[in-house]
């Protein structure tokens, strides 16, 4: 499980760590825009693995081993 401890603040989960880092240390909003529409597209892509790849993996596993 990816974990980051930053000045005593512990956070886990890759997407949460990425968002935290760009919000705290980003010099501008080029990596994580303030615009809600642009930010939503980034959030959509950040959750692609959990929402799409994971389900495909589960389906393939069940088909093969169950």
Give me the helices (H) in the chain, please: 14-25, 36-46, 48, 54-65
- Which range of residues forms the domain containing residue 52? 3-65
Asked if residue 51 lies in contact with residue 43, where contact means CB atoms within 8 angstroms, the answer is no
- Tens-place pLDDT, residues 4-62: 999 999 999 989 999 999 999 999 999 999 999 999 999 999 888 777 888 888 899 99
Please give the tally of structural domains in the chain: 1
Looking at residue 54, its pLDDT comes to 83
**2 φ, ψ (degrees, to nearest 5):** -65, 135
């Amino acid at each position: 499980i990816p974990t980051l401890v930053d000045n005593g603040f512990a956070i886990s989960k890759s997407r949460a760590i990425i968002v935290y880092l760009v919000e705290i240390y980003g010099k501008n909003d080029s990596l994580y825009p303030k615009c809600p529409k642009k930010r939503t597209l980034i959030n959509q892509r950040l959750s692609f693995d959990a929402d799409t790849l994971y389900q495909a993996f589960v389906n393939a596993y069940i088909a093969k081993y169950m």
